[in-house]
Amino acid sequence: MGQPEQAEANGRGVLAEDVMEDPADLHDDADEPLPARSWRTRGDFIGVALVTVAVLVATLVVWLTSDARNTTSQTGPSQITPLQPVTVLPPALAEVWRAPSGATPVPVNLDSVVVTGDGGEVVGRNALTGDVRWRYSRDWPLCTVSTAWGRVFAVHRKEINCSEVTTLDTASGTRGPQRNGDAELGTRLLNEGSHVLTTGEKFVEVYRRDDLVRSLEYGTLRAIVNPGKQPRPNCTYGSFAVAPGKVAVLERCPEQDPGDRITILKPNPEKSDEPQVISSMALADKGTRVVALTATRVAVATPGKLTVFDADNGSLVAEYPVQVTAEELAGDPPGRVASTFTSTANTYWFTGSRTIALSLNDLNPLWTVDGTLGTGTTMAGHLLVPVAGGLDVIDQVSGQEVASVPVDREGYTGPVEMATEGPVVLEQRGGTLVALR
């Protein structure tokens, strides 16, 4: 048979000579250069200039509005030598340094470092000298400063609330985990061991230890995801206390209760916006205050009386007469936290005119020191209580005065919150922190 004059290609008939092309022709076409375009025209330069200006402006705007520009972080050495507690009380104390610290409601100290907070700046200081180890500041004012889990917590105000929570290394001031929250103005931080609570009049939140993830929201939420989950969303809160695994809140719910209400919450429910109530007791009185909370008991003060409830089931345990007046309980305590201090022997409560020792287990009153200016602190196994003109040294078991130490407060007569760091006695006098030795 003869060869066909046409070959099938791609399903259509084409001539054989149409399929093959001269390789030389292909080579010549590939080597032929494309016409070059010039980028040197006046329009090109204008376009490049406009793009450059836009990038620079955008970069400047980001810088001007960024947290980095508005933050100053001056870190210090990472090594510290903790001061050893003293075993003998000093015969006298004199001021060794002082610093403004309006954001610390009580002295903030840990491992030979004393932390002061004022304006927008947090400063870590050498406890013995007051010398600066590190600084951290924002262009927002501080709400409060505290410690938890060996770290410093600084809470700054942004616009309408205390929303910026920053953790700082105690030794160096290096920033750790941060969180933007919804804490109210005037908040305090309470540490129950594994969680930190922010106090507030209508809303409180709890952060867990490891990563500052919010574990509890209670009260009037700004953004409600699951409606109907808050047990009493229209109440206000007067005072708080914490213990491991428990949060006590004094609620005022006039639409539901004629008196106040004491509620015990879990700090870590299964869902953060679905609170888990351990117990809740309606009280007969108004103007009450949560004083202290333990694993099994919660103490509530009313004029002339301290009432202790079972924290797990809300049942009444006991009522004790105490010297506390309606004037001393009027309003809410600063930060909605009663002035208390817990040692290895007792819990101490400052009523406003006296310090009352409560047992660690049952919270029953043990003894009272009249005429005090604050709760006090411990040193060399004794309780140091601030009084006019100095400090009374109190035996923690009997409540008897065993000595007194004069302190010149230069005319200051207001409340005094105290702490000790090694041989240094710290006094928070209003917006000033004073170190004595």
pLDDT, tens digit, 9 for 90 and up, residues 84-105:
999 999 999 999 999 999 999 9
pLDDT over 70 (residue 71): yes
56 contacts: CB under 8 Å, gap ≥ 6: none
Q: Which backbone phi and psi does 18 adopt, to 5 degrees? A: -75, -25
Mean of pLDDT values over 28-34 = 49
> Is pLDDT of 40 > 90?
no
- Residues 6+ positions from 117 with CB-CB distance below 8 Å: 101, 102, 103, 104, 108, 123, 142, 144, 145, 154
Is residue 390 over pLDDT 50? Answer: yes
Residue 367 predicted with pLDDT over 90: yes
Checking if the pLDDT of 28 tops 50, the result is no
Most confident of 48-52, 170-174, 209-213: 170-174
Helix (H, G, I), strand (E, B) or coil at 71: strand
Q: What is the 3-state secondary structure (H, E, C) of 150-218?
A: CEEEEEEEECCEEEEEEEEECCCCCEEEEEEEEECCCCCEEECCCEEEECCCCEEEEEECCCCCEEEEE
pLDDT band of 234, cuts 50, 70, 90? confident
> Could you read off the pLDDT of 293-341 as tens digits, one per residue?
999 999 999 999 999 999 999 999 999 999 999 999 999 999 999 999 9
Buried b (16+ CB within 10 A) or exposed e, 200-212: bbebbbbbbbeeb
- Specify the DSSP class assigned to residue 50: H
Q: How much is the pLDDT for 313?
A: 97
Confidence of residue 41 (pLDDT cuts 50, 70, 90): confident
- What are the residues whose beta carbons fall under 8 Å from the beta carbon of 276, sequence distance 6 or more? 265, 266, 269, 270
Task: In whole angstroms, give the CA distance from residue 188 to residue 332.
Answer: 13
Choice between 40 and 269, residue whose per-residue pLDDT is larger: 269
DSSP annotation of 342 reads E
Confidence check: pLDDT of 415 > 50: yes
Hey, what amino acid is at 316?
Answer: L
Tens of pLDDT, residue by residue over 158-199, are: 988 999 999 999 999 999 999 999 999 999 999 999 999 999
Considering the chain, what is the average pLDDT of its residues?
89
CA angle 317, 323, 329 (to 5 degrees): 85
Rounded Cα–Cα distance for residues 135 and 132 (Å): 8
Query: % helix / strand / coil in the chain, to the nearest 5?
Result: 10, 45, 45
